């Protein structure tokens, strides 16, 4: 079965991302009783950059693309956040994602502020040469904004290690020397970190395992459904299966598959490479997104887009644990509906923080010209995530609040503290 992507729903979800981010911030600002000056400062991005730039296409005509980079807050360090290439990327979406990056970096206590960027483009509609020209021209437009000590992009939706290599090369050509620390998520051969490609999926697996453990459920033998089979969903599915989880359903942008006896993510990845979707893979039953979200499973991993579980479909969710591998997949109005039914949500800024944590490791390795082996990276990642999970759980239990509010309270308090200590210039 092939699904037609629901474009209006995707567009609506993206518009709602900023509203979700602001609603979450207002809730935690109320909880912490933040003063109005600080509240006003943290509610808006520090810096927004929009650029329209021309690119020569293979057939000779020129196309104009629009790109964005938003730096939300820099009080704790240089800006850090992904660059996405997606046809519905717009400024409001990038604003929301930049704000979430600020909280994510603060929650896991890496010394970065939050940023996000993107180009409104469907990368699958471009040839490799066109994609390279779009990337290099956008990187040139970002010159002066990005750099190892100012703003460090990373891969996101529609971008990958190759994209980061082109950006690093473009910046290096302009600088006259190699600048590996300008981006993270590079190929390992160019100074990328071991385990970076799987880092977000690793984090999803680790934090979901902790949440299941709190309910007395082991990942080994747990039933799992995964929405999204991109960088995050594929890695999470594969790693969860390696830990003994049984993948009973997976959906991607082109369709979905189910098998109560378990799906093989490696075979699905091969099918995706051949056909462009996991739909109609051998030995599977077709399934749509609505059915996947309503499956009676131990763990539901949301690794697709924002706004997937809302007040209108939250009642249908039957998973014990919902792991937010994507940013903002559960809307604020759906949060209490899940909590009231005892469904545990692992909040996005904790669940999918593995990527930025290993990006931080990569940045540190680049600045010191050293390289850590994969096992060391994974051990350190687990250490950082375990500490963050423990802190969230402690505050959640002490205050009697949900994990999302606890996570945001820790993050916003850290940023507020940094802002206060730095004072105001001039």
Partner 1 sequence: MTDIDTWAPDAATALEAPRGWSARRLQIAVDGESIRLRLVRFPRGWVASADSVEGPTLGVDRSPYLAARQALEPFGVGLVDALSALGRLED
Summarize as ranges the residues that interact with partner 1 (CB under 8 A).
32-36, 38, 391, 394-395, 398-401, 409-410, 413-414, 416-417, 420
Q: Which residues contact 420 (CB under 8 A, 6 or more apart)?
A: 38
Whole-angstrom distance, CA of residue 265 vs CA of residue 236: 10
Calculate the CA dihedral of residues 204, 210, 212, 218 and round it to 10 degrees: 100
Least CB distance to partner 1 at residue 263 (A): 38
Least CB distance to partner 1 at residue 391 (A): 4
Least CB distance to partner 1 at residue 76 (A): 12
Least CB distance to partner 1 at residue 130 (A): 47
| CA-based max dimension of the chain | 66
Cβ 92 vs Cβ 15: under 8 Å: yes
Least CB distance to partner 1 at residue 395 (A): 5
User: Which DSSP state fits 327?
Assistant: S
């021209």: which residue's tokens?
Answer: 137
């098998």: which residue's tokens?
Answer: 259
- Of 267 and 413, nearer to partner 1 (C-beta) is 413
Whole-angstrom distance, CA of residue 157 vs CA of residue 150: 22
What is the per-residue DSSP string for 86-145? ETT--HHHHHHHHHHHHHHHHHTT-S-EEEEEEEE--GGGS-HHHHHHHHHHHHHHTBTT
- Of 136 and 382, nearer to partner 1 (C-beta) is 382
User: Considering 14, 46, 80, 116, which one is annotated as catalytic?
Assistant: 116
What CA–CA distances, in Å, run from 238 to 120, 152, 246, 256, 355? 30, 28, 10, 16, 16
Sign of the CA dihedral with 256 first, then 261, 262, and 268 last: negative
- Of 113 and 185, nearer to partner 1 (C-beta) is 113
Burial 290-318 (b: 16+ CB within 10 A, else e): eebbbbebbbbbbbbbbbbbbeeebeebe
- Of 273 and 421, nearer to partner 1 (C-beta) is 421
- Of 39 and 318, nearer to partner 1 (C-beta) is 39
Least CB distance to partner 1 at residue 199 (A): 24
Please, what is the end-to-end C-alpha distance for the chain in angstroms? 61
What is the per-residue DSSP string for 280-315? T-TT-EE--HHHHHT---SEEEE-S-S--B-TTTGG
Least CB distance to partner 1 at residue 414 (A): 6
Least CB distance to partner 1 at residue 1 (A): 47
- Of 333 and 391, nearer to partner 1 (C-beta) is 391
User: Which DSSP state fits 82?
Assistant: E
Least CB distance to partner 1 at residue 419 (A): 10
Neighbours of 193 (CB within 10 A): 24
């290099």: which residue's tokens?
Answer: 136
Whole-angstrom distance, CA of residue 57 vs CA of residue 77: 38
- Of 30 and 315, nearer to partner 1 (C-beta) is 30
- Of 375 and 417, nearer to partner 1 (C-beta) is 417
Q: Is 224 left (phi over 0), alpha (psi -120 to 50) or beta?
A: beta
- Of 86 and 408, nearer to partner 1 (C-beta) is 408
Based on the residue annotation, tell me whether 186 is a catalytic residue of this protein: no
Report, as residue numbers or ranges, the catalytic residues: 116
């Amino acid at each position: 079965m092939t699904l037609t992507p629901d474009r209006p729903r995707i567009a609506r979800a993206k518009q709602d991302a900023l509203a979700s981010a602001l609603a979450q911030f207002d809730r935690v600002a109320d909880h912490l009783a933040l003063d109005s000056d600080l509240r006003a400062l943290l509610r808006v991005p520090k810096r927004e950059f929009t650029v329209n730039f021309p690119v020569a296409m293979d057939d000779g005509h020129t196309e104009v693309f629009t790109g964005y980079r938003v730096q939300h807050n820099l009080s704790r360090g240089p800006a850090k956040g992904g660059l996405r290439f997606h046809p519905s990327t717009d400024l409001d979406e990038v604003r929301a994602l930049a704000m979430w990056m600020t909280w994510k970096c603060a929650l896991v206590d890496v010394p970065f502020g939050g940023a996000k960027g993107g180009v409104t483009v469907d990368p699958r509609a471009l040839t490799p040469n066109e994609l390279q020209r779009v990337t290099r021209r956008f990187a040139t437009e970002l010159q002066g904004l990005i750099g190892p000590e100012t703003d460090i992009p990373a891969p996101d939706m529609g971008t990958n290690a190759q994209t980061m290599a082109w950006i690093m090369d473009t910046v290096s050509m302009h600088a006259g020397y190699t600048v590996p620390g300008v981006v993270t998520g590079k190929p390992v051969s160019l100074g990328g970190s071991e385990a970076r490609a799987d880092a977000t999926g690793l984090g999803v697996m680790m934090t979901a395992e902790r949440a299941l453990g709190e309910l007395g459920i082991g990942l080994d033998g747990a039933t799992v459904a995964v929405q999204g089979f991109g960088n995050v969903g594929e890695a999470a599915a594969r790693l969860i299966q390696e830990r003994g989880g049984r993948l009973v359903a997976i959906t991607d942008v082109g369709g979905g598959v189910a098998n109560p006896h378990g799906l093989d993510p490696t075979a699905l990845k091969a099918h995706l490479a051949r056909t462009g979707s996991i739909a109609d893979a051998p030995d599977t039953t077709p399934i749509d997104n609505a059915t996947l979200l309503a499956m009676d499973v131990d763990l539901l991993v949301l690794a697709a887009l924002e706004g997937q579980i809302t007040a209108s479909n939250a009642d249908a969710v039957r998973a014990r644990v919902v792991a937010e591998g994507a940013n903002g997949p559960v809307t604020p109005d759906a949060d209490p509906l899940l909590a009231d039914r005892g469904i545990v949500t692992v909040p996005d800024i904790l669940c999918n923080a593995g990527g930025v944590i290993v990006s931080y490791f990569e940045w540190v390795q680049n600045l010191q010209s050293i390289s850590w082996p994969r096992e060391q990276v994974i051990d350190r990642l687990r250490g950082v995530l375990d500490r963050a999970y423990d802190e969230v759980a402690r505050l959640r239990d002490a205050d009697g609040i949900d994990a999302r509010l606890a996570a945001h309270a820790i993050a916003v308090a850290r940023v507020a503290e940094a802002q206060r200590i730095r004072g105001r210039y001039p």
